[in-house]
């Protein structure tokens, strides 16, 4: 049977085109963060394991983990800074506070780049989180110790105009979205 007559041939062609498009879209989402981290190989990075509809940094974290330390946040107690525990793609995980996955064991890491999840951001580096103040306390503590780059990671659609900010809100140094980098 010739290709033109085979109903499956047309379906395959359409399915391939659709899968390629999905793959391009998926690569595009992680791509901007991957490119950013590729410029900082070997620097200790804190990523995060996404919950709900947070944009997924894990593909970029996996690439970075091949070149240097990557860690993820662990909540130890309310009103205290987060600590960051070493993460690789095959580390054993368990469910921690707030339904976030955390490594069962591993080294504690002091990151120099912190990939920060959020609900919303504005162009001034303002950020809205879940309201625990965890990243504000963590960035304040890390910045008191040495240089640290706070990189917000979000969908471009999470941008809002002029978020209400408080004195203790730690500003982001830059924001990476699926469509590129926003410098503050």
Ligand X SMILES: Nc1nc2c(c(=O)[nH]1)N(C=O)[C@@H](CNc1ccc(C(=O)N[C@@H](CCC(=O)O)C(=O)O)cc1)CN2
133 pairs with which residues across the strands?
A: none
Measure Cα distances from 161 to 6, 24, 116, 121 in Å. Answer: 53, 30, 19, 8
Cα–Cα distance, 148 to 78 (Å, whole number): 23
Residues that contact ligand ATP, how many (by CB under 6 A): 14
54 is in an annotated binding site: yes
Task: Tell me how far apart the alpha carbons of residues 152 and 127 are, in angstroms, rounded to a whole number.
Answer: 8
Q: Output the smallest distance, CB 67 to ligand X, in A.
A: 22
DSSP class of residue 43 equals S
Please tell me whether residue 121 binds ligand X under the rule CB under 6 A.
no
Check binding of 145 to ligand ATP (CB under 6 A): no
Query: Footprint of ligand X on residues 38-57 (CB under 6 A)?
Result: 48-51, 54
User: Which residue among 33, 58, 82, 170 contacts ligand X (CB under 6 A)?
Assistant: 82
Within residues 78-137, the interface with ligand ATP by CB under 6 A covers 128-137
By CB under 6 A, is residue 40 in contact with ligand ATP?
Answer: no
168 interface partner picked from ligand X, ligand ATP, none, CB below 5 to 8 A per type:
ligand ATP
106 touches ligand X (CB under 6 A): no
6 CB contacts (<8 Å, ≥6 apart)?
none
């Amino acid at each position: 049977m010739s290709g033109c007559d085979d109903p499956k041939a047309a379906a395959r062609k359409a399915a391939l085109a659709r899968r390629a498009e999905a793959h391009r879209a998926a690569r595009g989402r992680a791509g901007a963060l991957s490119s950013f981290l590729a410029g900082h190989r070997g620097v200790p990075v804190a990523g995060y394991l996404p919950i709900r509809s947070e944009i997924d940094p894990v593909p970029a974290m996996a690439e970075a983990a091949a070149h240097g330390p990557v860690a993820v946040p662990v909540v130890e107690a309310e009103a205290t800074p987060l600590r960051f525990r070493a993460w690789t793609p095959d580390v054993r995980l368990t469910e921690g506070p707030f339904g976030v996955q955390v490594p069962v064991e591993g080294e504690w890491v002091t990151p120099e780049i912190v990939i920060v999840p959020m609900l919303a951001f504005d162009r001034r580096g303002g950020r809205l989180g879940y309201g625990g103040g965890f990243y504000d306390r963590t960035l304040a503590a890390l910045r008191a110790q040495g240089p640290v780059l706070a990189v917000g990671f979000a969908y471009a659609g999470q941008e809002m105009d002029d978020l209400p900010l408080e004195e203790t809100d730690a500003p982001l140094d830059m924001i990476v979205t699926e469509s590129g980098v926003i410098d503050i």
